[in-house]
Structure 1
Amino acid sequence: MSSAPRIHVAADFPVGGDVVLPEGPARHVARVLRLGEGAPLRLFDGAGLEARAVLVEAGRKRVVARIEAVEAGRGESPLAVHLGQAISKGDRMDYAIQKAVELGVAAITPLYTEHGDVRLKGEREAKKLAHWQAVAASACEQCGRAVVPTVHAPLLLTEWLGQRSESLRLVLHPGTAGALERSDPPATVALLIGPEGGLSSADVAAAMAAGFSPLSLGPRILRTETAPVVALSLLQYRFGDLDGSLPYETD
């Protein structure tokens, strides 16, 4: 993979054709990275395609890349995990989303739970959702994925539970173990992470009634943004592609 900067641009990539970068990516390329004409880029469309490109125009008002070659993106896990993450305050939710994307999550739904103290409505919810989706896209730029996982609109926990059909459904719940002890790898997983105050007994009961099994992450209580990192790492190691057979890079 080229060391050229990777930029998410939701567009068609015609080989030999030009792509005008939208305002956000254009500003990042021209003003933050300070790239000029002739600089190489990697563009990805967020749906699985990646393009090798070169800048042919890098002005303050317009940035244009010429597509040289297109290929299928890499970096997707064979394990499709849908993360139900209770909404947390401040940067904690951003961190959880960023790291979940780096660890190969397929989709994320922010959740309203009984003990959760964040409630978003109307325009505020829409702005937060757009921000979280941008966090996911930025994480893809860094980690090499060409598919940007969807961050769904926030739901009540009961609504999310009612939509679940994954072959393995897990809820983080202290004091239990054994949920990953199965010989047949699941193709799809639903993973439920509670808020800072933990899931209520009613939340846990509702998850169990929806076919979820309890998953323990050991004797220590993890923060709400740390728990998905540990749980997803275990799932990817046990059933996905985090098995040490491929080289890794850090950024």
Structure 2
Amino acid sequence: MPRLHCPLPLAPGAQIDLPTEAARHVQVLRLQPGAALTLFNGAGGEWDATVTRMGRSDVQVEVGAHHAIEREAARAVHLIVGMPANERMDWLVEKATELGAASIQPVATARSVLRLEGERAAKRQTRWQAIAVAACEQCGRNRVPSVHAPLALADWLRGAPGQGRRLLLSLRPGSQPLRQAAGDAQAVWVLHGPEGGLTAQEEDTALAAGFAPASLGARVLRAETASVAALSMLGLD
């Protein structure tokens, strides 16, 4: 059964016009009146729905029963990611969403190849958020992780949230294994660099901001692989 993100207030018996992206999805699937759907709006759980009218570009549905189903990870893992170049950030957002990331914060670092500012940054954020929505539709999540606007790493560190365990993925001697470093914290912030990693100065700044060095092992992983590995260790039930 198709699952669609519908960021609108939902209630049993309501007749609603689907938002543009959801309506386009229904049109592409060539669904007809009477077809069953599942809707989620990010506020919790999911809703039965039935297509009642198909227009040229608009689709109306009737909302059915609500099901208090959640498929979130047992702990909230927030990624602070030195943006990888090309399409790798798109892939990272998709897979991180599937693996249960609570939020994704792209950051620009000294070794970042991808540089985003102004309108270009806003367009890329919109694209990444849409990728996260599509991944939730596919994997069954009913809460969409926020993909925040790109920031310089130093700017993000100055305003970093105060709650949760802060971990820096690092190859420094003495770094604890990631699971051990996370302990039983229910909120974990995981920071890692882009291609080439963070500079020693950037790591020092992160440590001074309360991050503890943590390791994924002896091998050097690509930026997008590091996110997937960290989420697999910390976020999968």
Verify same fold: TM over 0.5.
yes
Distance 1:47 1:222, change over 3 A: same
Relative to structure 2, which stretch is displaced further, 186-195 or 76-85?
Answer: 76-85
Specify which of 123, 144, 147 is matched with residue 148 of structure 1: 144
Pair 1:112-2:108 in alignment: yes
Specify which of 71, 76, 79 is matched with residue 75 of structure 2: 79
Aligned to 1:164: 161
Please tell me whether the aligned partners of residues 167 and 182 of structure 2 are also in contact (alpha carbons under 8 angstroms): no
Counterparts of 1:183 and 1:205 in 2: how far apart (Å)?
19
Counterparts of 1:172 and 1:183 in 2: how far apart (Å)?
12
Alpha-carbon distance, 1:183 to partner: 9.0
Alpha-carbon distance, 1:222 to partner: 1.1
Distance 1:217 1:114, change over 3 A: same
Aligned to 1:48: 44
Aligned to 2:214: 215
Alpha-carbon distance, 1:24 to partner: 1.5
2:89 is paired with a residue of what secondary structure?
A: helix
Aligned to 2:24: 27
Alpha-carbon distance, 1:184 to partner: 5.1
Q: Residue type matched to 1:213 in 2?
A: A
Q: Which runs of 5+ in 1 are unaligned?
A: 237-241, 244-251
Distance 1:28 1:124, change over 3 A: same
Pair 1:134-2:133 in alignment: no
CA offsets 1:137-173 (integer angstroms, 9 cap, x no match): 1111011111111111111112222313233111111
Distance 1:23 1:68, change over 3 A: same
Q: Which runs of 5+ in 2 are unaligned?
A: none
Counterparts of 1:143 and 1:183 in 2: how far apart (Å)?
26
Counterparts of 1:216 and 1:184 in 2: how far apart (Å)?
14
Distance 1:119 1:215, change over 3 A: same
Counterparts of 1:127 and 1:173 in 2: how far apart (Å)?
31
Aligned to 1:192: 191
Counterparts of 1:51 and 1:118 in 2: how far apart (Å)?
39
Please tell me whether the aligned partners of residues 170 and 191 of structure 1 are also in contact (alpha carbons under 8 angstroms): yes
Let me know the Cα RMSD of the aligned residues: 1.6
Q: Give the % identical residues.
A: 45
Counterparts of 1:61 and 1:183 in 2: how far apart (Å)?
48
Counterparts of 1:159 and 1:81 in 2: how far apart (Å)?
20
Please tell me whether the aligned partners of residues 30 and 59 of structure 1 are also in contact (alpha carbons under 8 angstroms): no
Corresponding residue pairs, total? 234
Aligned to 1:239: none
1:81 is paired with a residue of what secondary structure?
A: strand
